[in-house]
Amino acid sequence: MTTGGAPPREERFVLAVDLGTGGPKVGLVSLVGRVAWQDHIPVKTNWKDGGGAVQDADEWWQIICDATRRSMAEGAVSQDQVVAVSVTGQWASTVPVDVEGRPVSDCVMWMDTRGGPHSRRALGGPVAGYAPAAAATWLRRSGVPPSTAGDDSLGHMLHLEKDQPLVAKAARWYLEPVDYLSMRFTGVAAASPASMTAAWLTDTRQPDIRDYDPVLVRRSGVDASKLPPLRPTGSVVGTVQAGVAIELGIPASAQVVTGTPDLHSAAIGSGAVLDYEPHMVISTTSWISCPVEKKKTDLIRQLATVPGLTPDRYLLVNNQDTAGRCLEWLRDNIVAPDDGLPPGGQHAAYEALIDLARTVPAGSGNVIFTPWLMGERTPIADRHARGGFHNLSLSTDRAHLVRSVLEGVAYNSRWLLNAVERFTDRRLEPIRLIGGGAQADLWCQIMADVLDRKIERVAQPLHANLRGAAIFAGIALGEVRTQEVRSLVDVDGVFRPDPSNRAVYNRLFAEFPKLYKAQKGMFARLNPSR
């Protein structure tokens, strides 16, 4: 497909940015998803007293600028081949910026709960933690009430307004990270119904959203003048500012499309973009999602629909806070902690951990790991919950522990899948799998066995969000049709359930929800601050 005398879409590229919690990935990706160049630069989360978690938003921008200059200097593509910029990444985080789009303070991250007291004053009550009238208003209009823990955009904005008055005074806009980066490229403050999902301030009963809902804005107590203007999801915000284009070595004519949450780019990057085509992510966090036709909410299991990839569709949203991060925790704190004891400080490669896990059979010697290291969101909403190894014995060794972490994340995913399939009222199969955890064949097979579903691993699963951001730009520019996206995404592995492992995994999974039920009271007693 071409436009006028333009080169084929395979030869035109998007500067794609995937801003994960662990730091930005920057890539040059064709309009149809071929990754020509990419790099990932880690950043640090700074933890504050009282539940704070922040990152330096200006550091993100400097990293992205440096990576872009390197990509162009290395000649992966020529300057005139770059036709668009597309940003995806973390959401439910808030960057306060001035009129020029420069941060006036750190980004308040999605894990930050300092706004919790203000959210509870605005919304809290006796019904599942909510005041009945507030819960009814949000459920009817947005489909999801804001978090009373404060760990969403609304909670962050209230925290800045109430607890950091100097920052609030200096802030012209409160932006999601993807919208902040788009503003740095264009100079235009703009958001979309998709990017502003976690503010819960739009009426999603009709998915073609054009503005914030005045009833929700009034009840929330946020400063409406600092909410960025809404543009349609998948539209063009503007072109790259001339000074930025010169600094980065990309054309000023490159069009910047609306930023997307990683949920949306993951759907596109997995190729699962049509109704009820599921995708699953094993990254720092994990989720199972698919496009759906109608607005719906399951408040008990924390499942809901949010504005989707197109104005006439929704995406199922849910999240499990620690998935791949559990393996990172095991590596850094149990297998090879830098705690002064020998050997210490020598981080084992993930590949070595996976190889070790292969040495023990399915079921990890009946050891069960519960992966709730930061609490949990779905299918149980409990910020007090914590993880653990269960049923250890003197015969348990390191290999059992590593494999049990892989299996524990899979049990948690099966618990979520059961809720998702009740929500969609259908069996979801095959499931497209992406994320860093999908690079390990063993983890893919464990997922297939535990979930009892065929798993299709997307090629280059770690780059799926970069690919999704680029194809999203292709759709926005009219170069790609939504109906052809699945054919643009290659699968490099198909994992089918192994019948010989079904009995052991069914038996162990049956204990998994019971472990939460048995320990729920203890979690609340021991972790009251959360």
pLDDT tens, residue by residue, 263-274: 999 999 999 999
Residues 228 and 332 in one domain: no
Helix residue ranges, H only, 331-397 = 350-357
Question: 401 in helix, strand or coil?
Answer: helix
Task: Give the domain extent around 122.
Answer: 94-174+196-232
Q: Which amino acid is at 411?
A: Y
Lowest-confidence pick of 185-199, 324-338, 398-412, 502-516: 324-338
Residue 96 has pLDDT above 90, yes or no: yes
Domain containing 206 — which CATH number?
A: 3.30.420.40
pLDDT, tens digit, 9 for 90 and up, residues 417-447: 999 999 999 999 999 999 999 999 999 999 9
Question: Residue 149: pLDDT band by 50, 70, 90 thresholds?
Answer: confident
Residues 330 and 217 in one domain: no
Distance CA 36, CA 280 (A): 25
Residues 354 and 496 in one domain: yes
Report, as an integer, the average pLDDT of 172-178: 98
Is residue 206 in a domain? Answer: yes
* More reliable by pLDDT, 5 or 448: 448
Distance CA 437, CA 347 (A): 17
- Residues 50/111, Cβ–Cβ less than 8 Å: no
User: How much is the pLDDT for 341?
Assistant: 67
Is residue 422 in a domain? Answer: yes
User: How much is the pLDDT for 119?
Assistant: 94
Report, as an integer, the average pLDDT of 506-517: 98
Question: Residue 144: pLDDT band by 50, 70, 90 thresholds?
Answer: confident
| E strand or H helix that includes residue 82 | strand 82-89
Question: Residue 375: pLDDT band by 50, 70, 90 thresholds?
Answer: very high
Question: Residue 126: pLDDT band by 50, 70, 90 thresholds?
Answer: confident
Is residue 63 in a domain? Answer: no
Distance CA 175, CA 136 (A): 27
Strand partners of residue 479: none
Question: Residue 530: pLDDT band by 50, 70, 90 thresholds?
Answer: very low
Is residue 466 in a domain? Answer: no
Residue 482 has pLDDT above 70, yes or no: yes
- Residues 176/93, Cβ–Cβ less than 8 Å: yes
Please give the tally of structural domains in the chain. 2
**Burial class of residue 407 (count of CB atoms within 10 Å of its CB; 0-12, 13-18, 19+):** buried
Report, as an integer, the average pLDDT of 168-173: 98
Report, as an integer, the average pLDDT of 504-515: 98
**Mean pLDDT for the chain?**
94
pLDDT, tens digit, 9 for 90 and up, residues 41-85: 999 999 999 999 999 999 999 999 999 999 999 999 999 999 999
Report, as an integer, the average pLDDT of 342-370: 89
pLDDT, tens digit, 9 for 90 and up, residues 223-268: 999 999 999 999 999 999 999 999 999 999 999 999 999 999 999 9
pTM assigned to the model: 0.92
Residues 383 and 498 in one domain: yes
Distance CA 376, CA 384 (A): 8
Residues 222 and 107 in one domain: yes
Residues 336 and 446 in one domain: yes
Report, as an integer, the average pLDDT of 350-360: 95
Is residue 26 in a domain? Answer: no
Report, as an integer, the average pLDDT of 8-28: 95
Residue 498 has pLDDT above 60, yes or no: yes
Distance CA 94, CA 77 (A): 33
Is residue 245 in a domain? Answer: no
Is residue 210 in a domain? Answer: yes
Report, as an integer, the average pLDDT of 142-158: 92
User: How much is the pLDDT for 181?
Assistant: 98
Residues 501 and 357 in one domain: yes
Is residue 83 in a domain? Answer: no
**Burial class of residue 74 (count of CB atoms within 10 Å of its CB; 0-12, 13-18, 19+):** exposed
Distance of CA 351 to the CA centre of its chain: 24
